[in-house]
Structure formats: structure tokens, C-alpha cells
Amino acid sequence: MLGFTERNGLFLVFDTLSDRLSAAFKNLRGKGKLTDADIDATAREIRIALLEADVALPVVKEFIAAVKERASGAEVRGGLNPAQQVIKIVNEELVTILGGATRELRMAKKPPTVIMLAGLQGAGKTTLAGKLAKWLKETRHQTPMLVAADLQRPNAVTQLQVVGQRAGVPVFAPEPGNGVGDPVEVARRAMDEARTKQHSVVIVDTAGRLGVDEELMKQAADIRDAVSPDEILFVVDAMIGQDAVTTAQAFLDGVGFDGVVLSKLDGDARGGAALSIAQVTGRQVMFASNGEKLEDFDVFHPDRMASRILGMGDVMSLIEQAERTFDADQAAKTAAKLQKKGGKDFTLDDFLAQMQSVRKMGPLTKIFGMLPGAAQFKDQLENFDEREIDRIEAVIHSMTPAERADPHIINGSRRARIAKGSGTEVATVSGLVERFFEARKMMSAMASGKGLPGMPGMPGMPGMPGAGGGKKGKQQAKKGKKRGSGNPAKRANPGAGRPAEPQPGELPAAFGGGNFAGGNFELPDAFKNLVDGKDEK
């Protein structure tokens, strides 16, 4: 799901809704018990947020009723953290209206599996056909074939052929299109072609219209009867709001479909279609298409989407993307380097390789945005310039092998040469080298199981007050033993003025403190500097 501008890892389509829900939950923090007035006020805010997101009114009413009923029950009244309990309820109800459990494609017992795509013109069916074919080929190890049964839209056949070539899958297109040919006959002949060539999946791209009409319905029904599809997927533009639900219902009544694919989730519409369509039609959203590249496509997971909407990240998707991207053997070698000699064997070449692997997962704003609490630093992510990574690569490539192996030898004259070779400033080279040492230290500590440097109470963290590690830390510990505070009040209460220990469900002070589930998360300064491309002074 790459290749588009995202804010805080959420699809733009849910950005406003996420902000409004976060604001509604803030009012619950710090309350030891929820009153009826608290529940009513929160429900009202959630209702407004959903209506502003263009969610269908019947869905909103049902959602709010379920939340209020559960929030008024004993599970919250007796809870130690009402805000977390309400967020849990809202999350579960969001999962329900998004379709519940993830639904996979039904594959035919005897190949080929036939998938028919239907929808209005402009919904993105042709591009979606290529995305689905590529996904089936690469992740499900199928041998798909595309069928050009849209013979009416100008250049639709040519477009599918181009998409198929990009996806690396064959396209069955015996007719030129542009109003020439019988789409039902093409679909019928495609089945014989698939059996002859032993394709395991056939994806039929059908024609659309600018609106639902009788001719469109009849043609789609005729193609359905000709190929007997195992799955009929209705492709709907997520940006058209309530019209998406109306159109889906019309197709369901006229032709029928088994699942929904939401396209253009990278748009800036309000997202009500995604939250309404499964509940209204009773058909699950199965896939999400959210960009122009063929890789911008994935299975729709209701639980993960609900988590994103509530600002709790999408760690599972992040892990899955990492597993698809990173080489396991190379990762093991890198981990071994970080664990030995304090990570000193980890070089700038390794750093560059790791950075390039991360880039394969997509824009860094998207990756950071999948982390829990990312909504709280979306401004930094919005302002992050991906070209900064290109500059870092240019600087490292301008170094000699010896300099990349041991950055300590990079003195003033070498920095000037590297800056000139990479088209950057000397300060950029200096900043990169300094940040590399800091990053290596942090990664080495994490690989050794010591946690993040600088976290309170972490033993062995160099230079951290009270951590028991490093010269400065030991000196401060010594001084603490020699004499107490000059303030009588502090001598009487030694814990006064110290950061409070985090309560259950809260983040430690090093991470900004606050309630994790509620999304009250502040990015540490060191990480802000990495995101902003600045040096920590």
C-alpha cells in the first residue's frame, strides 16, 4: 500500500474521523467513574464524528445505541480506567460495522477460480484487476489471467493490456473494444483459454456506466451466467460517499455480489462508504486499493482498520510488510553485528542496506504512521521530506569503503570531500555521522535486550542519571550518596519532584507519559530529530 501521500499512517479518507474520535476520548481521561452525562456527551461527539464522515444514518444510530448500552454496563462502571474501556467498546463496534472477521477469497475446488469485477465507470476496475492479479501471483502463488470484457469504454482493452504487462500476467483480449465485440462471448471463450493454458485464476474486467442503468445490469448478469464466477467483487470508489452505498445496493439487487473492494482510499473524502457499505449490504469489504501503483493493494482487515481509525496503529500490517521485504539471513547477520562489541562491527554499509530495505516497505511517513500513537506527531510526518533519504544515500555513496567501515576516520578534510562529492554541505555530512553513531548505539542496546538508551531505570545505559551506567551516571550516583538536598522539604520527602511512575496502561515519562490506548503519545525529542532530519544538540 504504497505510492501515495498519507498522514500519520491512516488513509487520508479517515483522517478527520480519527481526529474527532480522539478529541471525544480526551474528555474521559482522568475520570475514575463514568456518569450518564459523561456517556451521553461522548456518544454525542462520536455521533457527530460519524455523521461528518458521511456514514449512513441507520449505521450511525445502530452504532451509537450499541456503544451507549455497553458503556452503561457493569464492564465500565467497575473499571479502573473508564476511558480505556470506552475506547475498547468503540473499537469492537467499529470492527463489527466494518465487517467483523477478515474474509478471504473463495477458491474453486477445480481450477480455474473465476473472479468477476463489477462497478460503475471510473471506480477503478481495470487497474484493480491488475492489482488483484499481481497480488494473487506474488502472495498466493496463483497463475492468473485477465479477461478484457469491457468493450465499450474507449481504450479499455488497451489499458488492461498495459496493466497486465506491468503485473506480469497474460491478458485475453480477442476483441479490440471501443464498441466492437460481444463481451459475453469474450468471457465465455476466456474460460476455454484458461483451461487450455492451465491458468488457476480468471479475472474478468467488465464494463461500467456513469450511473446504474438497465443495460449495465443486463450485461453484467449475462456475463455472470456465462462464466459462473466463484466470486463477484463490487468495486466502489470510496470518495463518492453515500452514493457508494446506494450504488452497491442497486448492484446487489440487480446482479448480486459476494464482496466489496474499496478503491481510492488515498483520497481526501470523508470515508463514510467504508464504514457503511458492509453494514448496509451485508457483504464484506475484502480488499482495499489505495494508490496508483500495482502494489497499492491489500486484504481489508476490519480489526486493523478500526485500530488505525482510533489512532492505535497497525502493527500487524507493519510486521507483515517487514516479513515480505527483509531478507531473514541478512537480518540475522545484522543482528549478530549489533550484539557484538557494542555494535562496532555495524558499518555505514550495513546502515545503508537497512535503510534501503525499509524504503522498500514504502514511504517512511507510512511506516511511522503504523505505530501506535502516530496521530500525535502527524505534523512532523507531514513535513518530513522523503528526499532527505536520497541525500543520506548520496553522502554514504560518496565515502570510501574504509570510511564506511570506520566513520571515526572521517575528519574535516574528508567531510569536505564527501560533501562536494554528494552535492551537500559539510554540516550534512557531520550530522549524518553523528546520527549514525547514535542510531548504532540505540540499535545495539535493543539487540542486546537492554531496551532503549535513556529510559528511566534501565541499567547499563551510559551517561543516564540514575541508570547506573557511564562515568557521568556513576559520578552523580556517588554525589547522591555523599550529601542530600539542601531543601529541607526535599530531604523530608526524597521522592518529591521526581517523575511519577507510570500507572498501568500508561506510557513511561521518556515517551511523553499519558494514556497509551487513548492515543496520548508524544514523540521523544531524539526521534523527532530523526524524523525532521535534524541533529540533536
Confidence at 384, pLDDT banded by 50, 70, 90: low
Same domain assignment for residues 377 and 248: no
Same domain assignment for residues 256 and 363: no
Paired with 235 in beta bridges are 261
Confidence at 158, pLDDT banded by 50, 70, 90: very high
Residue 311 marked as a ligand binder: no
Report if residue 346 sits inside a domain.
Answer: yes
pTM of the model as a whole: 0.62
Query: Average pLDDT for residues 37-52, to the nearest whole number?
Result: 86
Q: What is the pLDDT of residues 343-371, one digit of tens each?
A: 788 888 888 887 777 777 666 666 666 56
Confidence at 497, pLDDT banded by 50, 70, 90: very low
Residue 413 marked as a ligand binder: no
Residue 468 marked as a ligand binder: no
Residue 158 marked as a ligand binder: no
pLDDT at res. 137: 95
Separation CA 464–CA 462 (nearest Å)? 6
Separation CA 509–CA 496 (nearest Å)? 16
Residue 205 marked as a ligand binder: yes
Q: What is the pLDDT of residues 432-479, one digit of tens each?
A: 999 888 888 887 777 666 544 443 333 333 333 333 333 444 444 444
Same domain assignment for residues 67 and 174: no
Residue 265 marked as a ligand binder: yes
Residues 6+ apart with CB under 8 A from 217: 251, 254, 255
Residue 123 marked as a ligand binder: yes
Same domain assignment for residues 197 and 51: no
Same domain assignment for residues 190 and 246: yes
Q: What is the pLDDT of residues 221-265, one digit of tens each?
A: 999 999 999 999 999 887 776 777 888 888 888 889 999 998 877
Of the candidate ranges 20-34, 57-71, 275-289, 383-397, the one whose mean pLDDT is the lowest: 20-34
Q: Do residues 160 and 148 make contact, with C-beta atoms less than 8 angstroms apart?
A: yes
Q: Do residues 205 and 146 make contact, with C-beta atoms less than 8 angstroms apart?
A: yes
Of the candidate ranges 94-108, 307-321, 482-496, the one whose mean pLDDT is the lowest: 482-496
Residue 85 marked as a ligand binder: no
Of the candidate ranges 13-27, 94-108, 319-333, 348-362, the one whose mean pLDDT is the lowest: 319-333
Report if residue 430 sits inside a domain.
Answer: yes
Residue 120 marked as a ligand binder: yes
Residue 244 marked as a ligand binder: no
Per the rule left: phi > 0, alpha: psi between -120 and 50, beta: everything else, 468 is left
Separation CA 226–CA 203 (nearest Å)? 14
Same domain assignment for residues 90 and 159: no
Residue 535 marked as a ligand binder: no
Report the run of H or E that residue 495 belongs to, with start and end: none
Nearest C-alpha neighbor of 206 from the set 194, 195, 215, 197: 215
- Grid cell 448480486 is found at 256
Report if residue 455 sits inside a domain.
Answer: no
Spatial strand order in the sheet of 113-118: 171-172, 144-149, 201-206, 113-118, 231-237, 259-263, 285-289, 297-299
Residue 124 marked as a ligand binder: yes
Residue 509 marked as a ligand binder: no
Percent of the chain surpassing pLDDT 70: 67
Report if residue 163 sits inside a domain.
Answer: yes
Same domain assignment for residues 415 and 392: yes
- Domain holding 427, by residue range, is 319-447
Same domain assignment for residues 303 and 376: no
Same domain assignment for residues 57 and 178: no
Report if residue 425 sits inside a domain.
Answer: yes
Confidence at 505, pLDDT banded by 50, 70, 90: very low
Q: Do residues 311 and 304 make contact, with C-beta atoms less than 8 angstroms apart?
A: no
Report if residue 464 sits inside a domain.
Answer: no
Report if residue 306 sits inside a domain.
Answer: yes
* Burial status of residue 452 (CB atoms within 10 A of its CB: 0-12, 13-18, 19 or more): middle
Residue 209 marked as a ligand binder: yes
Residue 266 marked as a ligand binder: yes
Confidence at 22, pLDDT banded by 50, 70, 90: confident
Of the candidate ranges 23-37, 83-97, 166-180, the one whose mean pLDDT is the lowest: 23-37
